[in-house]
Amino acid sequence: MIIAVMSDTHDHIWNVRKALHLISARGARAIIHCGDFVAPFTLQELNEAGIPVHGVFGNNDGDQYLLTSLSLTKLHYIKLYGLVGRQEFDNFRVAFTHYRTMAEGLAASGKFDLVCFGHSHQVLLDTTGTTTLLNPGEVMGKDGSPGFYLVNTSTQSYERIPLS
């Protein structure tokens, strides 16, 4: 199964649309979002892709009540987990958060195949024991090259997809 991992979209709707086009074209069946959607219209854009999105809050997601309310009522492809999310895809165990410190703790537990985080806007692909630690960088493109990752859960392979 192919899953996409993204973070720090920060309302950059044009890059979100580019990413969703590529994600759809590559056949991803789920999206992990590691926080900082920022506004409801970004969640709406993600929802319109028709691919399940599993997300956590970041430090710039101001109206968490509104984002959560929309995800529970109108946005049927969006599932928000709070600060830490956990999901299994074909026996491939994934945890995700916005913050590196939390991600490192989750990775150190050895309970997950992949732990994802965002916040720093800097790409990182590393291992802790048998767990892969991944920061996909930013979709926004403020501090670096915008992009995201595609993860093949069957082969446990990781591919960075640039947006510029």
Domain at 2-162, CATH from 3.40.50.720, 3.40.50.11890, 2.40.160.20, 3.60.21.10 = 3.60.21.10
Tens of pLDDT, residues 61-110: 989 999 999 999 999 999 999 999 999 999 999 999 999 999 999 999 99
Quote the distance between the C-alpha of residue 128 and its chain's center: 19
pLDDT at 164 over 90: no
| Alpha-carbon span 122 to 42, nearest angstrom | 21
Question: Domain locations in the chain?
Answer: 2-162
- For residue 56, give the nearest of 80, 32, 86 by alpha carbon: 80
Q: Which of 79, 72, 73 is nearest to 46 (CA)?
A: 79
* pTM for this model (two decimals): 0.97
